[in-house]
Chains A and B, each alone.
Chain A
């Protein structure tokens, strides 16, 4: 029988399982950020002039901005001049089969447990693998192409589909949005692009695996998903990163556009290196994610966040069209010295718009976990409806759980509900399980799983399995 202290010891000692580092030659830009570096990135990627202009414009705005301090987070601010803003694996050659892929890369995937072959064969998931900002392998492209679905790396999209990129880039997250989004607009290296044509349902889950590989590399992913009228897509994003001692910065921007009657389901598993037990190192995750819903469109965000030393992330929906729907389901686990300030923004503009926010926070060790959300009902958003529930679970008495919801209602026909609870795992629940023969660890896993079920249920099957695994690792032998 483990005592509570032993359990704490065990969970805080469980090492980051995905901490390894792939030795590959990277094509790196010198450290620092300037207009020249941006021109370098743009030239390196062979971008058209409008793209360069977009970047430079963003950079000029960024220079005048100040890093925000309102979040309930404490961390050493990154030195933006001490980062590489571009690093890419060696120029890719066109590949005919997986055999031609860099064996080291394949090895990396094996360690991650996402062998491409297996995914291709067994799950029917098309994987667009991103390692250090440049796409290395894309599969199922043909099959998608038959439906007219475009799923490619962002830089390919800039080359092949400039009209779509130009039309939608920055429409949901404008260049001026916030410090990190602006920085991203200036220096983003690559990411994923997806377009689903009118009335088409994407037959498979689209997925992208991000990894931060090169030491000292800031990662600036840019994702743009456009679902044209009446289309449907489910998009998965999963992340693991190797162990690094210095803090690494990740400032991604994800823009979703759901046109009339379209539906986008965006699921994320984030398991970046959370730093050591003493709170050294770990990823800084400052992400801007937002979706725009036109008439009768629906965007659903699901996230399972277990990694990163510092997380600052508020996936949101702008419900511009009438009868549009926004959803946000989140599980955020913080342990050791991790800090998370996360939540959702729902902006109701159209009539009869609906939004749901379900946020589950779990805090252990010395971690701080905050929910920060905004529900704004504009005057014209008649009959809008929101339901928000954010629960926090505390494990151990050195951690914290906080809730900062903002609710702004400007008309009489809307209904907004918010509820939040904070508590620890009930001793009676553990007792009940133990009495039926479970040990404490199993009991806690069971209870935590039940607690997160509402969110995990929203994930596609393959992802749900991985998420459950992650929760178990994160809370291995957790505390009551």
Chain B
């Protein structure tokens, strides 16, 4: 009985894509889609009994009634992004009208569908990193409409940040944006990946990004999730790092009813540097689940992970970070930290920082704290004439600043700072 019910759920969910036309797709990509569809047949949606999804109920997501819609009308919107290169996706489809490019030698930045026609690296590597047993990632592989493609050639230094804007402008939209980023040896680039939801109701964004950071390359991605209040997002990043490379990701989850981040990093090279940062200031009934998995496979790697959460109202925060140190990965230094402030009695935080270590000559640590704003610090500020509300705002700002300081793109830094200022001014 139970089984039939779940099957129906999956079938019903997949039926949203029945009318989507993928006939224009390139052959190699069609093959990948077929492979993924094949896999989906054998998979089921995870329940809270699955360890990996223990704290996140996805019923609301999978039972939603969605539509797939390519935008037709002209959209009047001032994006005001401080960059010369911006890809705009609307409801999962590439918007030629809103996107703009400043052609730079050595950097290929285009929609995924355009790249499928020409890029050999895409043909070679596409869908090679995605985990086969993750149903949401497979759904993306099978049914993605479009996405962003970036290829930075050897030793090219991109000064400007590249923007990928992922917009939803209608209700009940389901979209599967798919991004592919390849940073060649010695190159350096920064990307801002932002989700904006201008409509209000019940959309679901199921995004997958594949990121390759080659030897001695440096790559930073700033991910801003500003979903609508009752929209859902599952974002999966699959990253591989080669020798001597640096990878940094800053995740800011600002809005969304249920947001789940699956961040998987395979540090396959020696001497890699990895920074994972996250900030989740939550309100209302938000539920944000950050899962990170960092694998150190080769020696001399270093990683720093810092996730901070502010749980307000009836929100729920989840942090599950895992650092895996392979037997060969001697001299690994891995540091993981998760700090949370719980503002109300109805808010919840579930934190699960994990270490799995098979090499002995390592320095690994993790810490997790949950608490309140420091009473003594509040007193100190109030003794100097600040109101209770502003004193609290100052402390929240200070709490968030550790993560904000990690941002390498000034415009994003300003944006997040402003967000914290606006939302935590005069908090009680």
Contact = CB atoms under 8 A, between A and B. Distances in A.
The judgment on whether A and B are partners is: yes
Contacts of B367: 417-420
A411 to B, nearest CB: 5
A269 interface: no
Contacts of B340: 409
A420 B365 contact: yes
A61 to B, nearest CB: 19
B368 to A, nearest CB: 4
User: Which of A382, A409, A417: most chain B CB closer than 10 A?
Assistant: A409
B344 A412 contact: yes
A416 B356 contact: no
Nearest to B368: A418
A405 B351 CA distance: 8
Interface in A377-419: 379, 382, 392, 394-419
Nearest to A386: B370
B330 interface: yes
Given A411-B345, A419-B367, A399 B360 contact: yes
Contact of B368 (A402, A404, A405, A423): A405
A70 interface: yes
A424 interface: yes
Given A397-B361, A423-B362, A409 B327 contact: no
B349 A418 contact: no
Nearest to A425: B360
A418 B321 CA distance: 14
A421 B333 CA distance: 11
A415 B365 contact: no
A417 B368 contact: yes
Interface string B325-358: 0010010000000001011111111111111111
A416 B371 contact: yes
A422 interface: yes
A423 B345 contact: no
Contacts of A413: 345, 372
Contacts of B63: none
Contact of B370 (A397, A399, A407): A407
Contact of B355 (A398, A403, A424): A403
Interface in A301-316: none
A178 B426 CA distance: 48
Contact of A424 (B343, B349, B361, B369): B361
Contacts of A416: 368-371
Contacts of A421: 363-365
B359 interface: yes
A242 B81 CA distance: 73
A418 B357 contact: no
Contacts of B343: 412
A392 B362 CA distance: 11
Q: Please classify the interface of chain B as helix (H, G, I), strand (E, B), loop, or mixed, using the class held by over half of its residues.
A: strand
User: Which of A72, A396, A423: most chain B CB closer than 10 A?
Assistant: A423
Contacts of A415: 369-372
Contact of B342 (A394, A402, A406, A411): A411
User: Which of A396, A408, A412, A413: most chain B CB closer than 10 A?
Assistant: A412
B51 interface: yes
A397 B359 contact: yes
Contacts of A410: 345, 347-348
Nearest to B364: A422
Interface in A26-53: none
A409 B349 contact: yes
B366 interface: yes
A211 B345 CA distance: 48
Contacts of A424: 360-362
Nearest to B372: A412
Contacts of A409: 340, 342, 348-351, 370
A392 B360 CA distance: 10
Interface residues of A, number: 36
A396 B360 contact: yes
A72 B357 CA distance: 12
A423 B354 contact: no
A185 to B, nearest CB: 24
Interface in B40-67: 51
A167 to B, nearest CB: 34
B45 to A, nearest CB: 20
Contacts of A411: 342, 345
A70 B347 CA distance: 28
A412 B352 contact: no
Given A379-B345, A405-B354, A407-B352, A417 B369 contact: yes
A251 to B, nearest CB: 23
Nearest to B347: A412
B350 A408 contact: yes
Contacts of B346: 379
B225 to A, nearest CB: 23
A112 B110 CA distance: 75
Contacts of A396: 360
Contacts of A403: 353-356, 366
Contacts of B358: 399-400
A402 B356 contact: yes
A300 to B, nearest CB: 23
Nearest to A394: B360
A122 B208 CA distance: 70
Nearest to B361: A424
B326 to A, nearest CB: 10
Nearest to A403: B355
A244 B7 CA distance: 50
Nearest to A420: B366
B53 to A, nearest CB: 14
Contacts of A382: 345
Nearest to A398: B327
A405 B350 CA distance: 10
A342 to B, nearest CB: 15
B55 to A, nearest CB: 8
Contacts of A418: 351, 353, 366-369
Contacts of B350: 406-409
B353 A392 contact: no
A138 to B, nearest CB: 45
A186 B345 CA distance: 41
Contacts of A412: 342-345, 347, 372
Contacts of A70: 51
A393 to B, nearest CB: 9
Nearest to A406: B352
Interface in A56-89: 70, 72
B357 to A, nearest CB: 5
Interface in B187-226: none
Interface string A132-158: 000000000000000000000000000
B328 to A, nearest CB: 9
B372 A401 contact: no
A16 B342 CA distance: 50
Contacts of A414: 342, 370-371
A413 B375 CA distance: 11
Contact of A400 (B349, B352, B356, B368): B356
Nearest to A414: B370
13 contacts: A379-B346, A392-B355, A394-B357, A397-B360, A397-B361, A402-B356, A403-B355, A405-B354, A407-B351, A408-B348, A409-B351, A422-B364, A423-B364
Question: Ordered nearest first, which 3 A-B pairs have the shortest CB separation?
Answer: A394-B360, A407-B351, A418-B368
Interface of A: 70, 72, 379, 382, 392, 394-424
Given A402-B354, A405-B368, 7 more contacts: A379-B346, A394-B362, A400-B357, A405-B351, A409-B342, A421-B365, A422-B364
